[in-house]
Copies of this chain bind each other. A is one copy, B any other.
């Protein structure tokens, strides 16, 4: 029996509340001073909480695997990221706040440059045109109509755009049109199974019209489509856990990921302060609160060690406000590591803290990557977190007699 099925079978109501505080990209590596971002930050509230908690390290997917934002969060939500895969097109759409219906097919579009004489691609990213130019071209492409299909196209960033087709009978199983190297022509969309044939036809018709509209533009006189996919149709939090759940996040991507598992997405403003206010004002309405902090990741991606330290300190300052609500279970961790030293996501484990009734308090007294190596939770995986949170919220029945 798989874990999600086990959760579906065993969950019960208890009225107890779970808060999952996720610092995006929390995990770090030693900076110039020889300490990680978490070790460097002054975090009196996290350290105090740590003394009354059980901690450990959590691996997002499996050892050595660096997750994108999608798999990192799916793991935290308890969905095996190797089983539930979110197509690039879907993530691109979620990332700019588009809502996907189950009938939608989403693609990531890239503007590119082709040689008008031979039709081969000479630049797969059209010289990385600015976002303004991308928006202008997208505006032109929005004139394309295909009968019976509701088409949405939006600029994303630089040469990237999101394309969504909505119609009955659209199916996955479609090849990408980017040949992945210059000197070759864009490929047609091909259906990998009979059910996807209609989708391929629509997309090829759209591409033909797009090429016609773009042909006199420079440098972006063509485009390719990648990661053509549907919402993976994951069972909802209500179904799996019996939880009335909500997401408190400031960035579209995380709101979108939460929607994929059926969370209500609250209007949480764009600062930690507005997020805290949202948590407080919605406290009585939900059982589960996904509370997302974006800027630890942004600072890590920028390679800005000090900025990441500062974000951690800022969030540390609001921990007492979360505790004042008396959550029955509080989990604090990250979706993946983004060490400032690497300026990118990484595969390193995440410190995790579990604060709840009926924990076995361990001797660890500081919440950081090194101290948590000795934590009582040991080394777990992201998918283990939700079952532990559910157990400590008295929300799981016994398995077997």
Chain A residues within CB distance 8 Å of chain B:
1, 3, 6, 10, 29-30, 36, 57, 61-71, 81-83, 85-86, 88, 91-92, 227, 339, 341-342, 344-348, 358, 360-363, 369-370, 373-376, 378-380, 384, 386-392, 396-401
Contact = CB atoms under 8 A, between A and B. Distances in A.
Contacts of A81: 399-400
A5 to B, nearest CB: 9
Given A358-B342, A378-B379, A67 B347 contact: no
23 contacts: A3-B62, A6-B62, A6-B65, A10-B65, A29-B360, A63-B384, A63-B391, A64-B388, A64-B389, A65-B396, A68-B400, A71-B400, A81-B400, A339-B358, A341-B358, A342-B358, A360-B369, A360-B373, A362-B370, A363-B370, A370-B376, A373-B376, A373-B378
B10 A399 contact: no
Contact of A401 (B6, B91, B361): B91
A61 B30 CA distance: 33
Given A348-B360, A376-B370, A379-B379, A64 B399 contact: no
Nearest to A375: B373
Contacts of A29: 358, 360
A68 B399 contact: yes
Contact of A61 (B83, B91, B374, B399): B399
Contacts of A397: 66
Nearest to A344: B398
Contacts of A363: 370
A68 B110 CA distance: 52
A66 B65 CA distance: 28
Contacts of A70: 400-401
Given A29-B358, A374-B374, A400-B71, A380 B63 contact: yes
A140 B178 CA distance: 64
Contacts of A30: 360-361
Contacts of A83: 1
Contacts of A389: 64
Nearest to A83: B1
Contacts of A396: 64-66, 347
A398 B64 contact: no
Contacts of A66: 391, 396-399
A398 B66 CA distance: 5
Given A63-B388, A398-B66, A401-B88, A358 B346 contact: yes
Given A82-B1, A373-B378, A391 B64 contact: yes
A360 B348 CA distance: 9
Nearest to A253: B401
List the 8 closest A-B pairs by CB distance, nearest first: A64-B387, A378-B379, A64-B391, A68-B400, A71-B400, A63-B384, A64-B388, A373-B376
